[in-house]
Amino acid sequence: MSRPSTFPLLRRTAMATLLALSVATLPAAAQDGAPAPNGDESRVSDLQMAAGPAEDMNDPLEPVNRAIFWVNEGLDVVLIRPAAKVYRTVLPNPVQKGVRNVLRNLRSPLDLTNQLLQGDWQGAGDVLRRFTINSTIGLGGLMDVAADHGMPYEYESLDQTLAVWGIPEGPYLVLPLLGPSSVRDATGFAGEFFADPVSNYASNTNQDWITLSRGTLTALDTRAEYIEALDDVKRNSFDYYASMRSLYRQRRDGWIRDGKPDVEQMPDIPDYE
């Protein structure tokens, strides 16, 4: 007699917690597997530019957020950053790039869904073409052949979709283990986890190690990519918490606008007669 299935929802919730642990204290500028466009110098420069003070903090829970932030930072110092350094030391750059490409390829169903929900038909077409090319010619996503032919990776999340729909960000939050977020972002993260076909497949086939391994690799690869950049922000910040809050917001807003300039931040043009 086969053993009955046990509480799939509870198992999914437990895996969500483990995934949260695996992405603990990811840098705000690099959460969700978003690409870093150039080399280390450009990453440091991008973080420095984004780390200025935000005009609207929208941080009513700041005392609690600060406490959680420093707990997360302690976990990063003693666990995540050292592990990321080992990851970068052990794996040569081509292997790290291959891991990053595979992780992005696995996100294709989520990227595609969010592009469609945002009404970006061209973006949705690019996701389909990228997935087809990289899954075949690119050997399952190990090589980003599509990017070499003018179709770079574009990260899309449910948080961005909700923002396009006009849903406000809500108060700034620092989540235990997960780090910088907001009410909208946290909602999007939870929605994506439970809708992700890879996670669903792993859960339905009792292969939860797939979800945990994917989350761990995402955390290590992303943290390794931003070691120098975050060290520089921490070293040059008068208030590291405020810098990371501003950095998170500006980077997230850039994703929502797909890299387009914020017209509200542009200077007024004088009216000359």
Residue 267 lies in a domain: no
Tens of pLDDT, residue by residue over 75-112, are: 999 999 999 999 999 999 999 999 999 999 999 999 99
Q: Give the mean model confidence (pLDDT) for residues 246-264.
A: 78
In the chain, the number of structural domains is 1
Residue 270 lies in a domain: no
Phi-psi region of 259 (alpha: psi -120 to 50; beta: other; left: phi over 0): left
Residue 118 lies in a domain: yes
Residue 191 lies in a domain: yes
Report pLDDT for 57.
79
- Residues 39 and 178: their CA atoms lie apart, in Å, by 26
Residue 13 lies in a domain: no
Dihedral sign (CA 86, 88, 94, 100): positive
Are the CB atoms for 210 and 22 separated by under 8 Å?
A: no
Are the CB atoms for 217 and 91 separated by under 8 Å?
A: no
pLDDT band (50, 70, 90) for residue 129: very high
The pTM of this model reads: 0.78
Report pLDDT for 178.
86
Residue 265 lies in a domain: no
User: Is the model more confident about 33 or about 223?
Assistant: 223
- Residue 42 CB coordination number (10 Å): 12
Are the CB atoms for 80 and 96 separated by under 8 Å?
A: no
> In which domain, by residue range, is 50 found?
24-29+39-258
Residue 16 lies in a domain: no
pLDDT band (50, 70, 90) for residue 23: very low
- Residue 200 CB coordination number (10 Å): 15
Weakest mean pLDDT among 120-124, 221-225, 263-267 = 263-267
| Distance set, CA 95 to CA 9, 54, 134, 228, 264 (Å) | 35, 37, 16, 20, 41
DSSP state of 178: T
pLDDT band (50, 70, 90) for residue 272: low
**Helix H or strand E encompassing 217:** helix 208-225
pLDDT at 138 over 50: yes
Q: Angle at Cα 11 formed by Cα 104 and Cα 71, nearest 5°?
A: 70
Residue 12 lies in a domain: no
Are the CB atoms for 2 and 206 separated by under 8 Å?
A: no
